[in-house]
Structure 1
Amino acid sequence: MTEVIQALFPSSMDSIPIRHIHTAQQQQDNSYRFSIRHIQDLLTGKGMHEALHRHDFFYILALKKGSGQHHIDFQSYTVEGHTLFLVRPGQVHELTLHTDSSGYLIQFSEGFYTAHEQQARRLLRKAGSINHYPFDARRSQKITGILQAISDEYTLQEERYQEAIKANLSFLFIELLRDPRHTVSTSEPRYFQERLDTFLELVETHFAEYKQVSQYAAMMHLTTYQLNAITKQTLDKTCSEVINDYIILEARRQLHATTEQINNIAFHLGYEDVSYFIRFFKKHTGYTPDAFRQNCR
């Protein structure tokens, strides 16, 4: 069940390498792209370094033991045992794994869950709001058991194995949601959480095209007041702050991971006036785009 990860360099303004998931195994539904591999098989006795890139799929790295460094959207983490990393599509990351690392790597496409599997999608969205999960030995053993069950289902492919994989993934996400950092978000009313998830997905998809709260409210059939009430209740931020935060994050990704000119980055982010973009970026970060890029080097 060999898997090939192919890095592509698109000709658009977004020149951060994007890696796509491809499986040698033929799957009935092309949108159902899933794989799980042992980290030891990936390393083949050597260390591994992956330079800055992003994926168009979900990426779960679960380590029983190991060492190295993992940088995800300007946060740096030490790779060590009893740790899980969950990287969402679109996030920029850089990974170094040393030869002593062992565990599992799971990858699956955004189309892995259908529109009807709302509960599973909610679990994934909530769990994916945090990238780094350290565990004590007891919880690590429990999670390793879940991952081994997923690996067995993927390898044996007995009847209804895809359902079994999804069920075990839900168990995994529930374990992640027991992290104390999720306590506040899980206490919010389900309606608010569902609307927030929709809003965040729309921002990630349309941030370059739409920058006004009213545009997102219209797509969600809400008033701007209702949408602001949801983000204030769940995130303690206004909708405008959420939109601007994502634009700044994507700008930082582009400045850090590419050598694109500032005017090209501004255009990619939806700004035809580069001077306005520079003022916007400095207002929210304290740096001009050029100064930020220099500080990243």
Structure 2
Amino acid sequence: MQKQQRPVFHIGEHCSDRDIRSIKVTGFSEEACTIAEFEENHRHEYYEIIWLKKGKGVHTIDMVNYPYSGSVIFLLSPGQMHQIRPQEKAEGYVVKFLPSLFSDGKDLDDYLHGDCLFDNIQAKPVVPVTAAAHAVFEDVLNKMETEFNADETDKERILLAYLKILITHIDRLKKKNCSREAVARDLSLQLFQDYKAAIEKHFRQEHGVQAYAAMLFTEVRTLNTLSKKHLGKTAGEVLAGRILLEAQRELYYNSKSIKEIGYGLGFEDPAYFTRFFKRQAGVSPAEYRNTVQAPAGQRKAG
């Protein structure tokens, strides 16, 4: 029996658009707008910033459980599957936005891809919020919510400015939490981040590390060295892991055939896709689809 297809939410669902199509801002007090965050394993077509100001619970993202307590921020990219299961009533804010909000391509790269904040590969999507940062986020998000609900013109431009400020503060906080000030000066880290960003853009079409090395004007051995340094894996393993993650998402949440999923991920030969999946996951796509379950099959983040 095939799994029931998991919902994919669009940015216009659940909330009033307030004449703004590319960004939504709301507090958890607006239950009609935030109820989707508690729906069983769903996906979004948009980016999302979720600030849980206090409380505790478990946020499941891509079948991995992230327990949270106190003030935390979660960063989600389009296509990620998630569900918040609070043990205490959630308070905070949700910001949803489309990449089309950034009309400038350089801004898009700088704010969404540059520091891999919204990183589908090997990065924990949760950022603990310090007491000092708590006041900053409260101020910025309160202003964003007020602007979103105001009956004024040019709201999207103002909200984009606030969003850039918010993302910059999150990036600053994430770097402090990870004690990465010294690492941030390492040019090799930037190249590795560029590699991960390139994978995110092209993993459905390009399955070879050589293609990414050419894009980044570097050598395969350099990408291997950086991947081993920062993740303990080869560059090929990082790439394969991203392809596998997307395959697992597709098998988990919808009713596409295995052949269709393979084609969608750039595998022209269904048999090769099956071999790839089994080599990476230890089971065939069919076996994975038949055995994965939620919540029993969800893994706790280590």
Q: Which of the five TM-score ranges fits, normalised by the shorter chain?
A: 0.7 to 0.9
What corresponds to 2:116 in structure 1?
A: 125
Q: Distance in 2 between matches of 1:57 and 1:35?
A: 10
3-state SS of 1:126 partner: coil
What corresponds to 1:76 in structure 2?
A: 65
Distance 1:178 1:166, change over 3 A: same
Q: CA deviation at 1:124?
A: 5.6
Alignment check: 8 A CA contact 1:47 1:97 kept: no
Q: Gaps spanning 5+ residues in structure 2: where?
A: 294-302
Q: Distance in 2 between matches of 1:44 and 1:234?
A: 38
Q: Distance in 1 between matches of 2:36 and 2:234?
A: 44
Alignment check: 8 A CA contact 2:140 2:162 kept: no
The answer to whether structure 1 residue 102 and structure 2 residue 95 are counterparts is: no
Matched residue type, 2:175: L
Q: After TM superposition, list the pairs within 5 Å mapping 1:126-141 onto structure 2.
A: 126=117, 128=119, 129-135=123-129, 139-141=133-135
What corresponds to 1:171 in structure 2?
A: 169
Q: Percent identity?
A: 25
The answer to whether structure 1 residue 50 and structure 2 residue 39 are counterparts is: yes
3-state SS of 1:105 partner: strand
Alignment check: 8 A CA contact 1:217 1:224 kept: yes
Q: After TM superposition, list the pairs within 5 Å mapping 1:5-44 onto structure 2.
A: 17-22=7-12, 24-26=17-19, 33-43=22-32
Q: Distance in 1 between matches of 2:89 and 2:33?
A: 11
Question: Aligned residues, how many?
Answer: 277
Q: Distance in 1 between matches of 2:71 and 2:89?
A: 13
3-state SS of 1:167 partner: helix
What corresponds to 1:5 in structure 2?
A: none
Alignment check: 8 A CA contact 1:39 1:101 kept: yes
3-state SS of 2:105 partner: coil
Matched residue type, 1:24: D
Alignment check: 8 A CA contact 1:146 1:171 kept: no
Give structure 1 regions of 4+ aligned residues with deviation exceeding 6 angstroms: 44-48, 157-160
Q: Gaps spanning 5+ residues in structure 1: where?
A: 1-14
What corresponds to 1:116 in structure 2?
A: 106
Q: CA deviation at 1:243?
A: 1.1
Q: Distance in 2 between matches of 1:266 and 1:81?
A: 41
Q: Provide the TM-score with structure 2 as the length reference.
A: 0.75
Q: CA deviation at 1:215?
A: 1.6
Q: CA deviation at 1:211?
A: 0.9
Q: Provide the TM-score with structure 1 as the length reference.
A: 0.76
Q: CA deviation at 1:279?
A: 2.6
Matched residue type, 1:170: T
3-state SS of 2:145 partner: helix
Q: After TM superposition, list the pairs within 5 Å mapping 1:1-297 onto structure 2.
A: 17-22=7-12, 24-26=17-19, 33-43=22-32, 49-66=38-55, 69-78=58-67, 80-96=69-85, 100-113=89-102, 114-117=104-107, 119-121=110-112, 125-126=116-117, 128=119, 129-135=123-129, 139-155=133-149, 161=158, 162-180=160-178, 183=179, 187-189=183-185, 191-297=187-293
3-state SS of 1:90 partner: coil
